[in-house]
Amino acid sequence: MRGLEFLVFLLLPLAVLGVWVVYPILATVVLSFTTSSGFSLGSHIAVVTERSPLKALIYPEPGPYPPWGALIHNALWIAIGLPLVVFLGVVLAYLLREAYGSGAVRSVIFLGMVLPGVVSGLTIRFMFDADIGIFPKLFSLLGIQELAKTWTIYPQTALLALILGSVWLWLGFSVTIFSAGLDAIPKSTIEAAIIDGASPVQIFFKVILPQLKPVTLVVTLMTIMWILKIFDIVYVATGGGPGGSSTVLALIMYTYFASALEYHKAAAVATILALLTLIPAGLYIKSVLAGEK
């Protein structure tokens, strides 16, 4: 009887995973390294050296503002978006612990997590529109005319608009996890610090932050993985423009795949994207396995 149970409990799910996840992943890697003539690095070299602004991974003639190429745009996204997500997440989670009406605030912040990406993309367009958007209006009140325009149509600001928009979307995740992390901190450590006469700020930095290290690691890695895969908000809000100044890896993979039908190149971009994702994923897996012990 046990054998049958093995079959159902273990092999049925594994067979499904085999056909729809494992096989396609391997096949994509193979596709990216093959051409009509057999094994070759041709597709990988071609996508990395592509010069057209709408498809370039690394733009050959970088100027003072984008386009710099999708790889660089993704890196920039991590460099700007990640600290914002982590910092705002910690601070908000900490402040929300003792605030009145924290449930309502949490709900609003979490809203971005449940929006379909397409709707988020539209919302980002709204946010940064010169006539009806919050940000341009804010800057025109402050008298900063350079930023009182529609952000998504200028190469200087299109990518930044998307990055800030993505923080708006993703902050809910960060706040939720940090809140859980704060709840898990034993009260006794904080009480001891209060008895020692520490100020709230000191408590935050000396007692709480060190204990949030593992949680911060998870938020960081998850956020990086999420940023690397971003597609729909870019597709809807800017389509990668103007002048290719807001392209990202996932969008370029789709461009090769859908409009040009260049499967090998699309597979090469996907493989590069997957390799990049493996770095944070590997670290995350390591932390999970460490927690298992």
Looking at residues 28 to 67 of the shown chain, list those that interact with another protein (rule: CB under 8 A). Answer: 28, 31, 51-55, 61
Report how far residue 154's alpha carbon sits from residue 143's, in angstroms, rounded to the nearest whole number. 19
Q: Which of 35, 49, 107, 199 binds another protein (CB under 8 A)?
A: 107
The count of residues interacting with another protein (CB under 8 A) is: 125
* 179 contacts: CB under 8 Å, gap ≥ 6: 93, 96, 97, 106
By CB under 8 A, name the one of 104, 192, 194, 209 that touches another protein.
104
Which is closer to another protein, CB of 72 or CB of 248?
Answer: 248
Residues 198-227 within binding reach of another protein (CB under 8 A): 214-215, 218-219, 222, 225
For residue 147, state whether it binds another protein (rule: CB under 8 A). Answer: no
Question: In this structure, what DSSP letter does residue 276 have?
Answer: H
Cβ pair 121, 203 in contact under 8 A:
no
> Should residue 87 be labelled a site residue for another protein when binding is judged by CB under 8 A?
no
> Can you list the positions of beta strands (E) in the chain?
34-35, 38-39
| Comparison of 36 and 52: residue with beta carbon closer to another protein | 52
Do the Cβ atoms of 158 and 245 come closer than 8 Å? Answer: yes
Among 45, 118, 144, 209, binds another protein (CB under 8 A): 118
For 53, list phi and psi in degrees, rounded to 5: -55, -30
| Residue 124 CB neighbour total at 10 angstroms | 25
CB of 134 to another protein, least distance (A): 5
Residue 103: how many CB atoms within 10 A of its CB?
10
Tokens found for residue 127 = 């946010």
Of 34-42, 74-82, 191-199, 283-291, which segment contacts another protein by CB under 8 A?
283-291
> How many Å apart are CA 190 and CA 154, to the nearest integer?
49
Fill in the DSSP letter of residue 156.
Answer: T
- Residue 10 touches another protein, criterion: CB under 8 A: yes
Give the shortest CB-83-to-another protein separation in angstroms.
18
Contacts with another protein in 226-265 (CB under 8 A)? 228-229, 231-232, 235-236, 239-245, 249-250, 253-254, 257-261, 263
Using CB under 8 A as the binding rule, the residues of this chain from 159 to 198 that contact another protein are 168, 173, 176-177, 179-181, 184
Instruction: State the minimum distance, in angstroms, from the CB of residue 266 to another protein.
Output: 6
Q: What angle do CA 210, 214, 218 make, to 5 degrees?
A: 135
From the list 38-46, 73-81, 203-211, 282-290, the region that binds another protein by CB under 8 A is 282-290
Instruction: For residues 163 and 175, give the distance between their C-alpha atoms in angstroms, rounded to a whole number.
Output: 18
Per CB under 8 A, the list member of 2, 36, 39, 186 interacting with another protein is 2
Contact (CB, 8 A) for 238 and 73:
no
- Is 86 a residue that touches another protein (CB under 8 A)? no
Please report whether residue 81 would count as binding another protein according to CB under 8 A.
no
Neighbouring CB atoms inside 10 A of 23's CB total 11
| Nearer Cβ to another protein (80/239) | 239
Residue type, 105: V
